[in-house]
Structure 1
Amino acid sequence: MDSTSSEIALDYSPFLRTYKDGRVERLMGIHVVPPSLDPKTNVQSKDVIYSQEQNLPSRLFLPKNINPNQKLPVLVYYHGGGFCIESPFSPHYHNFCNKLVAEANIIIVSIDYRRAPEHHLPAAYDDSWTVLEWVASHVNGDGPDEWLNHHADLNSVFFSGDSAGGNIAHRMAMKYGEQKLSDINLVGIVLIHPYFWGKEPIGNEVKEAETRSKIEGFWYFAYPAASGSDDPWINPATDPLFGSLGCSRVLIFVAEKDFLRDRGWYYSELLKKSGWEGSVEVIEAKEENHVFHLFNPENENAKALLKSMASFINQEEKS
């Protein structure tokens, strides 16, 4: 056996390891569950290919008991995992989407995108835009998926994601603001503990030199061609087009004990100063850590997060 097959090149435990022979061993986010009719929420799900070229699927979630032609808001969801691990088929993402669909009465398109290091960024960004084009193709009711043809209200579209997925949701809203997709109307974005960074520490980051080093290293691991920690893809403060964010409402969730907490608040402050004319709100969960809502979904803060998301999405219909 080639000795390099067991030699570790990079160890990012507890997330993943890479080996000198090129093998990638993911240590988290490797479990998957099939689509189903969830008995607890009465939400049904199925997997549909959105990119024939890359053979990439999305998992669609739809309430079971709706009228044949009832139109519902659409939430496009981008999973987290540092651009390297996890998938929409992980039990905690599957369960989270089931609960959110039941709470908000919406359709969710939870997407699988190519992950680093096999596919470095911007591959995940490219895939995340491709799925939006795929969703938009249902505008006349003759797209490739019947659920979206019959039930998607493309005048009421939202993007969301947690951690790296929050970063992606932001980037897609930026691209939408620059290029538009005339067949969908982006109302708002929901960023859950979003993965943003910067060369200069802010807030409590000054006390966390070791954590900062790991986060910066992970960014380069996912995107070797990036210009650094102040690349606009990871640091909105350096993006001269930030004020052209392509939606009118933003909701940001942060967690008190999360190492990314200050970045969420900073994003809000930057957005208010950017010339963008929409409304932005930040909700902080006390005594909680990064993506707590996925791993401890029954606690009160996780339930409150779910209700706040549902209220944010349905606000447009009530206004």
Structure 2
Amino acid sequence: MASSISNEVTHDFSILGLRVYKDGRVDRFKGTDIVPSSTNPETGVQSKDVVINPETGLSARLYIPRIPNPHRKLPLLVYFHGGGFCIETAFSPTYHNYINSLVAEANIVVVSVDYRRAPEHPLPTAYDDSWAAVKWVASHSTANGGEVWLKEYVDFDRVFFAGDSAGGNIAHNMAIRVGSDGLDGVKIVGMVLIHPYFGGKDPIGSEGDGAATDKFWLFVYPSSSGSDDPLFNPVVDPKFSSVVCDKVLVCVAEKDFLKDRGWYYKEELGRSGWEGVVEIMEVAGEDHVFHLIKPTCENAVALLKRVACFLNEDKA
């Protein structure tokens, strides 16, 4: 009897790579591999891992480009990985390789945040961990922070947030949090949202009836108010126009079912009274997070270069 109960599936998101059983056991079918930090022999990019909060296990992987000059401070990107808040880590080959390429192309410093994941740690844990990481980063703008790479190489007047899918959702909500709570010593210049995971009670465009999206949101955030929770549907947030940066780049893919939601975000942000500049890049013929699945394809290389350019442009 115990064996049959333990094998009873309560949530099956196999398409994402996740299955949850009645006894609480969680199977992840992808995103579980880990690669060590290193110095990449081709790009010269160095990486290392840091523990931000030993009590919660919150950690991050830091990256610096080849032989940075401590007298020439670099932009800093705080990156939040995707995976539906459930799979992948900052240490997986997918994200390690992508961030390595981005650091080499853009000549920036990156803090890739490894937040705790649902369902073992349902939302808002990922938001709380990400905010703790953002505050930890900001502590290095003064004498308080102890991470040498951040103190020596970062220009804290050129800080960016970015993420893909669920990580894009987190990046937006961190920008809102900075706008409402403040963040001393740091200037958030811009934000990059790649195929961001947003939704809403009223489906738009290619979302169909939105039932699957709503079901998954409530799975990762059982105590949420629903699909119009401002954390999930940012345009209903009274604080939407307080996104704390000068410029935003939204990246969408033609075949991604989240494409229309990304366009909607872009258009509504532009109409919200926010005083920055919002741009959008749509890639034809591609699906959700294609740039991570086939990073060397022509479209993925073009997307990488566009993001790198955005991170190095003069602020709007």
TM-score tier (shorter): over 0.9
| Aligned pair partner of 2:231 in 216, 230, 233 | 233
- CA change 1:200–1:142 in 2 (3 A) is closer
Q: How many Å apart are 1:11 and its aligned residue?
A: 1.1
**1:155, 1:185 → 2: CA distance?**
5
**1:203, 1:6 → 2: CA distance?**
38
- Which amino acid letter does the alignment assign opposite residue 77 of structure 1? Y
Task: List per-residue Cα deviations over 1:126-163 (Å, max 9, x = no partner).
Answer: 01110011111111355221111111111110000000
Structure 2 equivalent of residue 76 of structure 1 = 78
**2:97, 2:175 → 1: CA distance?**
25
Answer yes or no: is 1:172 the counterpart of 2:174.
yes
Structure 2 equivalent of residue 103 of structure 1 = 105
- Which amino acid letter does the alignment assign opposite residue 7 of structure 1? E
Answer yes or no: is 1:9 the counterpart of 2:10.
yes
- CA change 1:115–1:70 in 2 (3 A) is same
**Contact persistence 1:58–1:109 (CA under 8 A):** yes
Structure 2 equivalent of residue 275 of structure 1 = 273
Map 1:39-118 to 2 at 5 A: 39-118=41-120
- Which amino acid letter does the alignment assign opposite residue 123 of structure 1? T
**Contact persistence 2:39–2:45 (CA under 8 A):** yes
Structure 1 residue runs without a partner (length 5+): none
Task: List per-residue Cα deviations over 1:28-84 (Å, max 9, x = no partner).
Answer: 211111101111211010000112331221000101222244311100000001111
- Which amino acid letter does the alignment assign opposite residue 156 of structure 1? R
What TM-score, normalized to structure 2?
A: 0.96
Q: What secondary structure sits across from 1:231 in the alignment?
A: coil
Map 1:156-305 to 2 at 5 A: 156-205=158-207, 208-209=208-209, 212-305=210-303
- Which amino acid letter does the alignment assign opposite residue 46 of structure 2? Q
Task: List per-residue Cα deviations over 1:214-237 (Å, max 9, x = no partner).
Answer: 221110000011111111110012
Structure 2 equivalent of residue 316 of structure 1 = 314
**Contact persistence 1:77–1:159 (CA under 8 A):** yes
Q: What secondary structure sits across from 1:316 in the alignment?
A: coil
- Which amino acid letter does the alignment assign opposite residue 2 of structure 1? A
**Contact persistence 2:78–2:112 (CA under 8 A):** yes
Q: What secondary structure sits across from 1:37 in the alignment?
A: coil
- Which amino acid letter does the alignment assign opposite residue 194 of structure 1? P
**1:70, 1:36 → 2: CA distance?**
23
Structure 2 residue runs without a partner (length 5+): none
- Which amino acid letter does the alignment assign opposite residue 218 of structure 1? F
Q: How many residues align?
A: 314
**Contact persistence 2:43–2:66 (CA under 8 A):** no
- Which amino acid letter does the alignment assign opposite residue 60 of structure 1? L
- Which amino acid letter does the alignment assign opposite residue 201 of structure 1? P
- CA change 1:241–1:142 in 2 (3 A) is closer
Q: How many Å apart are 1:90 and its aligned residue?
A: 1.1
Structure 2 equivalent of residue 36 of structure 1 = 38
**Contact persistence 1:120–1:222 (CA under 8 A):** yes
Structure 1 equivalent of residue 150 of structure 2 = 148
**1:267, 1:222 → 2: CA distance?**
22
**1:202, 1:40 → 2: CA distance?**
44
**Contact persistence 1:142–1:149 (CA under 8 A):** no
Q: How many Å apart are 1:107 and its aligned residue?
A: 0.3
Percent of aligned pairs sharing the same letter: 58
Q: What secondary structure sits across from 1:109 in the alignment?
A: strand
Q: What secondary structure sits across from 1:174 in the alignment?
A: helix
Task: List per-residue Cα deviations over 1:273-294 (Å, max 9, x = no partner).
Answer: 1110100000000000000000
**Contact persistence 1:141–1:150 (CA under 8 A):** no
- Which amino acid letter does the alignment assign opposite residue 2 of structure 2? D
Q: What secondary structure sits across from 2:278 in the alignment?
A: strand
**2:186, 2:71 → 1: CA distance?**
18
**1:32, 1:85 → 2: CA distance?**
12
